[in-house]
Amino acid sequence: METVKEEEEYNYREVRLPSLIPVVPEPELEREKGERRRGRDILIAIDHGPNSKHAFDWALIHLSRLADTIHLLHAVSDLNNQVVYDITQALMEKLAVEAFEVVMVKTVARIVEGDPGKVICKEAERIKPAAVVMGTRGRSLIQSVIQGSVGEYCFHHCKAAPVVIVPGKGQFRFRTDKDNRFKFNPIFVEIYWDSEYLSNLLQF
């Protein structure tokens, strides 16, 4: 499989996220007495499909914690297509607000021109995240490996170990309580990962 070439042209546009999201200083989280740690970078590849949102929701609930920074990434074939950019910007703004309201994490976003797999791997090299999170097209892991997929490509080429999430039978749902605070209804999802690596990520 073709590898990412450093000399390839790399076009991108940063996404300006809503100014209404408060800017909070990056906290230091106490893990054990005498030991402190800062937040991590988490790269989430998104598109406009339900499986992408499913992966985003999973990352918020099971992976993100205070002081982390979420990097939203969307790959497009033509960066100059203003219609696509505007639609994607609206989606990223919505997700950024949701991320702050649910887990109070900082979000940055970027739209990059190119093949999705290569774009994700290139951004992973740039950011060096603790994890790369993405959805699938609903196929099983075996089908993805045989037929090829963005997730399978990233599994072999990303420097950071990707987490590939396959949609389960249910769906993620957020609701609010009487104080208008977000609550999460957990469901079962089918997830494939390097178990030891992800177990370390999930340790709080």
Of 38-42, 62-66, 186-190, 193-197, the one with minimum mean pLDDT is 186-190
- The stretch 43-50 carries a mean pLDDT of 92
Give a yes or no: residue 48 inside a domain: yes
Is 49 among the domain residues?
yes
Question: Region 69-83: what's the mean pLDDT?
Answer: 94
Per the structure block, which two tokens stand in for 60? 């918020």
- How far is Cα 60 from Cα 179, in angstroms, rounded to an integer? 21
DSSP 148: -
DSSP H helical ranges for the chain = 50-62, 82-103, 116-127, 141-147, 150-157, 195-202
Answer whether residue 7 is part of any domain: no
CATH number of 137's domain: 3.40.50.620
| Residue 133 falls inside a structural domain | yes
Mean pLDDT of 32-55: 79
Per residue in 78-102, pLDDT (tens digit) is 989 999 999 999 999 999 999 999 9
Segments forming the whole domain that contains residue 188 = 38-170+180-202
Tell me what percent of the residues of the chain surpass a pLDDT of 70: 58
Q: Which helix (H) or strand (E) holds 75?
A: strand 69-76
Tell me how far apart the alpha carbons of residues 123 and 201 are, in angstroms, rounded to a whole number: 20
Would residue 82 count as lying in a domain? yes
- State how many domains the chain has: 1
pTM score, two decimals?
0.73
Best CA proximity match to 135, nearest among 190, 175, 78? 190
CA distance 166 to 138: 6
